Amino acid sequence: MPDKGFNPELDLFRKCYQYTEDLEAREGGYYLIFRPLESGQNPVVTLEGREMINLASNNYLGLTSHPRVVEAAKEALDRYGTGCSGSRWLNGNMLIHEELESLLAEFLGKEAAIVFSTGYQTNLGAISCLVGRNDVIFTDKLDHASIIDGARMSLGRLIRFRHNDMDHLEGLLKREQDKGKLIVVDGVFSMEGDLADLPGLVDLARRYQARIFLDDAHGLGVTGPGGRGTAAHFGLAEEVDLIMGTFSKSLACIGGFVAGDARPVSWIKHRSRSQMFSAALPPVLTATARAALETVIREPELVDRLWTNARKLKEGLIALGFDTGGSQTPIVPVILGNEPLMLATTINLAQAGVFVNPVRPPAVPQGREMLRLSLMANHTGEHIDQALAALGEAGRNLGIIS
Ligand code: PMP
């Protein structure tokens, strides 16, 4: 550590100079994050010059390389240049943002939508401006980190309920009868790939006068009729007060939004700090998200293909003897339960030409270390067969399956 004459006890950089986890992992050959891909997010990716089957992407519908989507992005670049250079409150708002908002609202059967620059900022801004000092926010234990961060930024109190446990939630709601209440859940849980118990939540919300905010980042373009999401899957789009989503999964770029009744959306638009104090989503990304959404509407067979692939992979994994948890979607976990095994499996698969996401705490609870596999609409049956063969081999080598 460079000596600047600080009292080491008070130097908040001391921990940084003492932090060596990443160096040790690199040295040991198990640094499996921040891996620099040399290709796009396609069914086959290139890493260090080698082609690998990609079972790690959130590009569920494969739209990052869809000709219509790419063409729309190019056109927007030519027409508008690269950025908005300001908040939407001031100079950064564009007609194309508002057109995308109308399309999103219509797609989800809501009155209005408001677009943010990332999904993370959407949760941060929307949740924190809704939940006031006398309010309580109830979150599922497996909710995404951005929901928790949004809750922490709010003035209200955060209460977490056991994953999808409606009895537990009811007990907690009962104790807060005199408070404003917001229940926030992932529609599709991002690591386990299971669905929120929306019918149960809607029932509780009605009985205990709570509002529901659904983070459908992994449901949009995936679940429900034509990819209309988890609320539509349960026929509860009207009952869910706000539906949040991102463009970083099925919609092929980055950005986020919340859709709902016009007045709550207007409140979020005019009160969320991550909207106010951050620059607008660049037009090229706005055009990309719009073209991607138009493609979901025009080519619903992409959603069907994604599900066919997901079923094939999941059935194959179960036949091999892997634990795929409670997955109900194209997110398929392979539960391994400890970090050394998770790392060894990831390395083994990489050697066999399969790229997977190893997931450890804090993204999952301790003991739930897993590979988070995910499918794309444009994976071929052959890709999945090859990946299953590699998974079977790795699983047997490492004693995970027999
Ligand atoms: N919510 C969920 C459930 C997510 O999985 C993610 C991204 N991993 C986000 C919100 C944040 O979205 P973004 O990556 O677009 O910022």
Q: What is the mean pLDDT of residues 138-165?
A: 97
The answer to whether residue 8 scores a pLDDT higher than 90 is no
Closest ligand 1 atom to residue 246 Cα is 15
Q: Which residues on adjacent β-strands are paired with residue 44?
A: 53
Whole-prediction pTM: 0.97
Say how far apart CA 256 and CA 233 lie, in whole Å. Answer: 21
pLDDT of residue 4: 85
**The token pair that represents 100 in the structure block:** 């995308």
pLDDT of residue 113: 98
Distance 141 CA to ligand 1 centre (A): 16
215 lines ligand 1 (CB under 6 A): yes
218 is catalytic: yes
190 lines ligand 1 (CB under 6 A): yes
Three-state DSSP at 261 gives coil
Distance 1 CA to ligand 1 centre (A): 36
- Among 64, 115, 120, which is best to mutate for testing ligand 1, by the most ligand atoms less than 8 A from CB? 120
190 is catalytic: yes
Closest ligand 1 atom to residue 188 Cα is 3
Q: What is the mean pLDDT of residues 277-303?
A: 98
DSSP for 19-37, written as a single string: --HHHHHHHHT---SS--B
Looking at this protein, which amino acid is placed at residue 253?
A: C
- Cβ neighbors of 133 (< 8 A, separation 6 or more) are 155, 156
pLDDT of residue 103: 98
Q: What is the mean pLDDT of residues 156-177?
A: 98
pLDDT of residue 3: 82
**215, burial (CB in 10 Å: exposed 0-12, middle 13-18, buried 19+):** buried
**The token pair that represents 90 in the structure block:** 């001031």
Distance 229 CA to ligand 1 centre (A): 15
pLDDT of residue 1: 78
Which tens digit of pLDDT belongs to each residue from 186-237?
A: 999 999 999 999 999 999 999 999 999 999 999 999 999 999 999 999 999 9
pLDDT of residue 2: 77
The answer to whether residue 85 scores a pLDDT higher than 90 is yes
Say how far apart CA 1 and CA 3 lie, in whole Å. Answer: 6
Q: Which of 137, 136, 208, 145 lies closest to 177 in space, CA to CA? A: 208
The answer to whether residue 180 scores a pLDDT higher than 90 is yes
Task: Tell me the average pLDDT of the chain.
Answer: 97
DSSP for 188-201, written as a single string: B-TTT-PBP-HHHH
Q: Which listed residue (128, 190, 274, 327) is catalytic?
A: 190
Site of tokens 């409140």: 267
- Among 117, 149, 246, 288, which is best to mutate for testing ligand 1, by the most ligand atoms less than 8 A from CB? 246
pLDDT of residue 371: 98
The answer to whether residue 332 scores a pLDDT higher than 80 is yes
- Cβ neighbors of 298 (< 8 A, separation 6 or more) are none
Q: Which listed residue (218, 233, 269, 314) is catalytic?
A: 218
The answer to whether residue 31 scores a pLDDT higher than 90 is yes
Say how far apart CA 140 and CA 313 lie, in whole Å. Answer: 27
pLDDT of residue 236: 98
- Give the confidence band of 96 by pLDDT, cuts at 50, 70, 90: very high
Three-state DSSP at 374 gives strand
Radius of gyration of the chain (CA): 22
Q: What is the mean pLDDT of residues 58-86?
A: 97
The answer to whether residue 260 scores a pLDDT higher than 80 is yes
